[in-house]
Amino acid sequence: MPAFWSAFKRHRQIFRAHWLTFVAVSYGLDLLIQFLVIPSFKFATTWILQAGEIPFVSYQNVVTILTHHPLVVIALLIELLALLWVIYAQFTLLLIAVRQLARDRFDWRNWLGESWASLAHMRLGSLAFLLGYLILILPVSNLIFKTPLLAKVKIPAFILDYLTRNGWLLSGAVLGYVVILAFGVRLLYTLPTMVYHHTHTKAAFINSWQRTAHGQWWPLVKQLLALAVLTTLVSLLFYLTSLVAQAGFDLLPAPWPHHLATANLTLVQLGSEFLIVWQTILSLLILIADELPPHPLVFGHRRTTWRQWGLPVALIALFTLAAAANASTYFSGHSLNRPLTIAHRGVVNGNGVQNTIPALKKTAQLHPDFVEMDVHETKDHQFVVMHDENLRALTGVNKAPYQLTLHQLTALTAKENGHQAPVASFDQYLKVAQQLHQPLLVEIKTTPHDSADMIQRFNHRYGATLLAHHDRVHSLDYTAVRQLQRANPALTVYYIQPYNFTFPNSAADGYSMEYSTLNQDFITQAHRQHKPVLAWDANEPAVIKQLIFDHADGLITDNLTTVQAQIKALTGHQSYLNQLANFLDLLPN
């Protein structure tokens, strides 16, 4: 690793000479993206959909949007191009700043001027190539090109979970990831080439491909990985030091533990952000090594004016005040509410077969606020408790629920988790839940084969009972949600969304959102409309913590006991040391 340490020493020298400006540029761009750009694009998307009278975007209505709303499609495409341009602009501003500072000739006006000159060479046609490029570098983007805009691009966790359950799908996914990763590594020089040499995207692709041919990519990747490992070790040492210090602070008489915990957490936030900036800048310096001045570097000690240091100091002071305010609020003890606990498919830690009565009875003993379960319409227009579109996985019968009568379905035995139980009708399941005084969250599953009046019959048969026992309903089918709301306005009906694409914009009474793309912005917007947000499936402690801190109103989970333990730990009385440890779990990696 001699080459790494030699380069690291050189890059650290550059960072140390201009750390204040590096931090200011990075903080400034991130604040601009987080608090102006991202909300603006979300607002624009929501407004476009509202103008087209489209309440949501999902697999159910994509074809309808494409065929019946051409103006909406055009507007969304223009927005996509604008988003790509903004991403490129952020990278341009950062890359120009890094090169100017490395050459010891940074000036705020020159920085903006050179950046604009580079942006002026971006052609509209190059944005299409840029989209492909960003997709290819996603697997390696966190090593270099960190931006909140790319961080928003996520594959929902339920899709990843589905892929891991099938060997062929998993193999295909791994192979696809490896291929994309390989292309991403080979194309790492594309953006610097475009920015510094005003090269169009396609030509920059070719240039990067040639520069990384014959294994020339490995020294670059090796340095980036070594830096990532070093940053991780430094971060762990920093966090461990803060925890040890807080353990000592907690031994002091009141009110010192509170005051010192607030100061400690403020420093933790500042240190965490500083380490992110440090890794980002050093990664970029590794990437643009050919653009750096020859070794050794000699930085001049030019006289600085308030115009040069005033903005960096102001930005850092602003961030420090925000961090201190956040720390004070965090330790005030008034920021967290207890979310509802909801047992997914009526099962807890594999204690039975999903959506069956024996599992319901066991789960009810653990006292969840709700048991979530699923219903399908049957061939004879009854309702059976079943999640899957095909019965094979649970019963061994290669049929769909709509192909069998209720009598045929309830004659089947479902097997899962080493247990077996009869398939239940909704009438049976609902009756037992009422006997157990266990509220239900009923998911209505729909298919193209359902009868036209299914929702009306469901409400006629069960609506009053569901209301009387304080049950709730949710569905992935927005049409079903609206039909049930019109048929029974008093019933609480949520809309299930597998992806967070826009601000909440529907007539539903609330939302059930897949957790991996759910964020505090969506929850805050929903709360302003007085609509609760449930998150699914919250199974891991870190995920549960994040959702509680984001103020999710309910957690749909397969691991009810874990959720209950996390809620008790986070909303009950804790030492400042434990509270600080919980906060560290939420910091970005």
Q: What is the CATH number of the domain that holds 482?
A: 3.20.20.190
In this structure, the number of other CB atoms found within 10 A of the CB of residue 188 comes to 24
From residue 213, give the alpha-carbon distance in Å to each of 4, 186, 283: 21, 8, 21
| Inside any domain, residue 335 | no
Contact indicator for 268, 585 with CB cutoff of 8 Å = no
Residues 487 and 551 in one domain: yes
Same-domain pairing of 317 and 355: no
Q: How many CB atoms lie within 10 A of CB 337?
A: 11
Per DSSP, the three-state class of 361 is helix
- Same structural domain, 353 and 436: yes
Which of 309, 330, 351 is the endpoint of a domain?
A: 330
Count of the separate structural domains present in the chain: 2
Helix (H, G, I), strand (E, B) or coil at 514: strand
Asked if 224 and 92 sit in the same domain, the reply is: yes
Structural domain including 37 reads: 2-330
Query: Rounded to an integer, what distance in angstroms lies between the CA atom of residue 88 and that of residue 119?
Result: 8
Token pair, residue 279, equals 């890794």
- Does 301 lie in the same domain as 366? no
Do 473 and 413 lie in a common domain? yes
Residue 46 covered by a domain: yes
502 closest CA partner among 192, 157, 46: 46
Q: Among 500, 507, 505, which residue's Cα sits nearest to residue 483?
A: 507
Instruction: Please enumerate in sequence order all residues whose Cβ is within 8 A of that of 43, keeping only pairs 6 or more positions apart, or say none.
Output: 503
User: Digits of tens for pLDDT over the chain (589 positions)?
Assistant: 676 777 788 888 899 988 988 998 988 888 888 888 988 988 898 888 888 877 777 766 777 788 888 898 899 899 988 988 998 899 899 999 999 999 888 888 899 999 999 998 888 777 777 787 777 777 666 666 666 666 666 666 666 666 667 778 778 878 888 888 888 889 889 989 999 998 888 888 899 999 999 889 999 889 998 999 999 999 999 999 999 999 999 999 988 999 999 999 999 999 998 999 999 999 999 999 888 777 655 555 555 555 556 777 888 888 889 889 988 888 876 567 899 999 999 999 999 999 999 999 999 999 999 999 999 999 999 999 999 999 999 999 999 999 999 999 999 999 998 999 999 999 999 999 999 999 999 999 999 999 999 999 999 999 999 999 999 999 999 999 999 999 999 999 999 988 887 777 788 999 999 998 898 888 999 999 999 999 998 999 989 998 998 899 999 999 999 999 999 888 777 788 988 888 887 666 5
Rounded CA-CA distance 421/360 in Å is: 11
| Within-domain flag for 203 | yes
Q: How far is CA 528 from CA 67, 81, 133, 506, in A?
A: 33, 30, 38, 13
The string over 101-110, giving b where at least 16 C-beta atoms fall within 10 Å of a residue's C-beta and e elsewhere, is bbeeebeeee
What's residue 335's pLDDT? 61
Please give the Cα distance from 539 to 371 (Å, whole number): 15
Instruction: Please list, residue by residue across 432-467, b when 16 or more beta carbons sit within 10 angstroms of its beta carbon and e when fewer do.
Output: bbeeeebbbbbbbbbeeebeeebbbebbeebbeebe
End residue of a domain, out of 286, 307, 330: 330
Domain-located, residue 430: yes
Q: Is residue 20 part of a domain?
A: yes
Cα 183 from Cα 136, distance rounded (Å): 6
* Residue 413 pLDDT: 95
Is residue 325 one of the residues assigned to a domain?
Answer: yes
Query: What predicted TM-score, i.e. pTM, was given to this entire model?
Result: 0.82
Q: Tell the residue number behind the tokens 């030699």, with chain if given.
A: 6
> Does one domain contain both 354 and 310?
no
189 phi/psi in degrees, rounded to 5? -80, 0
Which stretch of DSSP H or E encloses residue 374?
strand 370-377
- In this prediction, residue 162 carries a pLDDT of 67
Domain boundary among 295, 330, 365: 330
Please indicate, yes or no, whether residues 381 and 253 belong to a single structural domain of this protein. Answer: no
Tell me, yes or no, whether 372 and 391 share the same domain. Answer: yes
Query: Which amino acid is present at 216?
Result: Q
Sign of CA dihedral 163, 398, 345, 421: negative
Same domain? For 310 and 437 the reply is no
Shared domain for 304 and 357, answered yes or no, is no
- Residue 148 sits in the same domain as residue 99: yes
